[in-house]
Structure formats: structure tokens, C-alpha cells
Amino acid sequence: MSLTAESAEDAEGVLLKVLGAKIREQRCEMKKVALGWVVAALLTGCAQAAVTPTPTPAVEDFTPAVSVSGKVVPARWANLSFQTAGRIVEVNVWLGDRVSAGQVLARLDDSDARAGVAQAEAALKVAQAQLESAKAPPRPEQIAAAEAAVAAAQAGLKTAQANLEVARANLNKLLAGPSPRELEVARQQIEQAKAQLWGAQAARDAIKGNPASTPGQSDTAEAAVAQAEVAVRITELQYEELKAGPRASDIAIARAQVQQAEGQVATAEAQVQQAQAQLALLKAGPPKEQIAAAEANVAQAQAALEAARAALAKTQLVAPFDGTVGTVFVHVGELATPGQPAIALGDVATLRVETTDLSEVDVVRVNVGSPATVTFDALPGATFSGKVTRIAPMSTPGQSGVNYVAVVELAQMDPRIAWGMTAFVDIPVSGE
């Protein structure tokens, strides 16, 4: 049956507490036995004093102590984990490797994150270019083009106004009817056409009466007469039409032409105003609102780029301080989960002992600054002196009850002491 890291750690803690309790019981029994031997020796000495005087053996003072278990940990250590999920593509360190702050320890697949950074950089460049364009003063050629647009619009307005005058004049003429002068001119045109007809008839008759004339000459003369007759008829119809006055359809057409011309004038006037406004804007420079909007777009693009770079940075597991790799929990190809320990890093140059089973009954008997004696199962016969430097203000619940963590700094270090070793701590306390 496999155990998880947490269950293994809990089992180890329970075992340490049980062993610590057994060792404390054995130490108490040893102290009781030693005390019993001392009392027995004193009683025996008193009983034999009358027979054979013997020297009284020296008895060392018995000092009560709190005996607890602990573990060796660096003064500074951390279980490092990725801040984002992803597939692990690099693990650059292994157990015992020395690393420096800022060094990349492991890396996730960052292809999507890099694409996001590139996209954000491009968006920022576009926003910056738009801001520069908004701030830039108008170029001379832009001013010249705007002035030309104004001149063209004004010329178009003049043309539209002239067309409107013509359309109105035509309508007014139709509404007024023919003038006496126009009627007289039309009548004279009839007389002229008749005179031409009479001349053509006389020429035809002369040709026909001449025996020397040819058939071709006769045909030509007949055609001239026919053409003159048509001309007379046309002038007569024109006179009759002019005399009758304008038709309703003609007046409607003329009115429509006036309305169309008026619409063209209105359009031309709007074009002039638009061109003049554009020229005025160019000469006045970019508006503050436009610059402010462009600046806001740049700020937004910069924020998006920073967010994309932060997302890219989260694909790397970086050492927060100088230290030694204690454990590597992950491998290349695995999927990393945010918050799941990946690498344990600690500054093993400074190790200390943290208690694991200091009960709530004993913690009140221990003070910061109290001396301590530390032994290790891994170093039989070796005893190290130390001092309590910190006591946790908050308890850590465990299977054997409520415990507190006390930190014991060793007075001297031994290169054989390693991170995670089991330690046993005796802390002298005042007698009760």
C-alpha cells in the first residue's frame, strides 16, 4: 500500500511522539532508580555508622526537565510550488544541489504564455503608434490638402447656386406665359417660312415651264417645296403652342428641377462647412480628448503586457533565496498543480531543532532563553548544548493532543547533523 507525502509525514510524527514518550518514561524511570539508589545508600550509611564510619557519597542535585522530540530543519526553508498548472518540461536541479536566489529550478511548457506576451507587445506598439499620431502636429501637406478641399467645396457650391438660379428662371418663365414680343417673333417666323415656301413654289413652277429643264431639276424643286411646307407647319404649331401657354406637365417638371437644384445647393453648403471644420481642426492641433483616449489605450495595453509577462513568469519555479535542494517531488512530463510541492529548498548552513511534541502542559514551563541539551539517534553518544530562541504563540493540533513548536538553536554545529534528523531535547525547568 503506497502512502502519500502527507500521510507519511503524519505517521513519522506519530512515531516520533511515541518514541519520545517512551524515552521520557525511560529517563524518568532511570532518574527514579538513581534517586532510589541514593536514598538507599544514605539509609545504609546511617545504619552502619555505629559500626564502621564511612564517608558520605556526594549526591548530584537533581534538576527536573521537559523532554521532547524534534526535527532538524534549516532556519530558512520552503516547499516551492508552481503558481499555475501545466506540463513540466524542465527540472534543472537534484538533491543536494546548491542554488542561488533567482535561479530557475524547473519550468513548465510556456508556448501559450509566450504567444500571449508577443500578442500583448504587438498591441502595445499599435497603441503607442496611435498615441504618437494623436500628439503629432499637422503636416504642411495635410494643411494644403484641407485648404484645397475647402476651395473645391466652395466651387461646387457656386455651381449649384447657378444651376438653381437657372431652374428658378425657367419655372418663372413658364408661370408667366408668353410675352407679346415672343408671340410677335413666332408670327414673324411663320411669315418667313411662308415666304420661303412661296419662293420654292415659284422656282419649281419656273423649272417645270422650261422645256430645257431636266427631270432631276424638277425633282429637286419639288423637294424644296415640300421642305418649305414642313417648315411653315412647324412654325405655325410653335406659334399655337406658345399662344396656348405652358402645360401643367411642363410646370411640374420645372418645379422638380428647382427642388433638385435646391437640394444640390444644401449638399454643397454642408460640404463647405465640413471642409472648413476639418481645416480648422488641423490648424488647432489634436484635441485633448483624443490624446487622453490614446493614452488610456496605451496604459491598458501596458497592463495587458505586464499581465502576460506575469503569466509567463509563473511557468518558471525560481529559487527565492540561496540554499540547498532538499527534495525534488516532480519529474519531467508530469502535470503540475498550483500549490502542490515541487521542490524543497533550505539554507542548510544554519540548522536548528523544532520540537514536535511539546505539550500544552509543558510549554508553560519553558521560556525563551532556556538552555537545552540535544541528542540525536543518528549520533549516539554525542550531546549538544543549545538554547530556546522561540516558542510558537499558537498551538498545532496533533494526534497525541495539542502541541506547541519551540525552536532550539544549537551552540555548535556538527557537519553530520542533517536536515530532517530526529532530535531529543531536554529543557531544564524550575522544580515544582
Residues 238 and 225 in one domain: yes
78: helix, strand or coil: strand
Whether residues 132 and 144 share a domain: the answer is no
Domain annotation covers residue 264:
yes
Q: Is residue 332 part of a domain?
A: no
The reply to whether 165 and 256 lie within a common domain is: yes
pLDDT of residue 100: 97
Do 174 and 249 lie in one domain? The reply is yes
pLDDT average, residue stretch 187-201: 91
Cα distances (angstroms) measured from residue 40 to each of 29, 30, 108: 16, 15, 72
Determine the straight-line distance between the first and last CA of the chain, rounded to whole angstroms: 48
Cell numbers 512530463 correspond to what residue? 333
Beta strand 401-404 with 358-359 is antiparallel
Q: Do 330 and 91 touch, CB atoms closer than 8 A?
A: yes
Best-predicted range by mean pLDDT (34-48, 59-73, 170-184, 268-282):
268-282
| Per-residue model confidence as pLDDT tens digits over 22-75 | 444 444 344 333 334 333 433 344 344 444 455 554 445 556 899 999 999 999
- Interacting residues of 20 by C-beta distance below 8 A, sequence separation 6+: 67, 68, 69, 356, 357, 424
Give yes or no: residues 196 and 242 share one domain. yes
Whether 180 is in a domain gets the answer yes
Q: Put residue 76 in one of left, alpha, beta given phi > 0 → left and psi -120 to 50 → alpha.
A: beta
pTM metric for this prediction:
0.55
Domain of residue 184, residue span: 140-284
Give 355's strand partners. Answer: 70
Q: Cα(368)–Cα(58) distance, rounded to whole angstroms?
A: 33
Shared domain for 174 and 217, answered yes or no, is yes
| Domain final residue pick, 264, 284, 304 | 284
Answer whether residue 297 is part of any domain: yes
184 and 300 co-located in one domain: no
Q: 197 and 248 in one domain?
A: yes
Rounded Cα distance between 147 and 269, Å, is 16
Residue 395 CB contacts under 8 Å (≥ 6 apart), including other chains: 360, 402, 403, 404
Model pLDDT for residues 123-158, shown as the tens digit of each residue: 999 999 999 988 888 888 888 999 999 999 999 999
Instruction: Decide if 119 is inside a domain.
Output: yes
Q: What is the mean pLDDT of residues 398-408?
A: 87
Q: How many CB atoms lie within 10 A of CB 370?
A: 19
405 in a structural domain: no
Share of the chain above pLDDT 90, in %: 63
Query: What ranges make up the beta strands (E) of 28-183?
Result: 65-74, 77-81, 86-91, 98-99, 104-108
- Total domains present in the chain: 2
Mean pLDDT of all residues in 232-253: 83
Whether residues 230 and 145 share a domain: the answer is yes
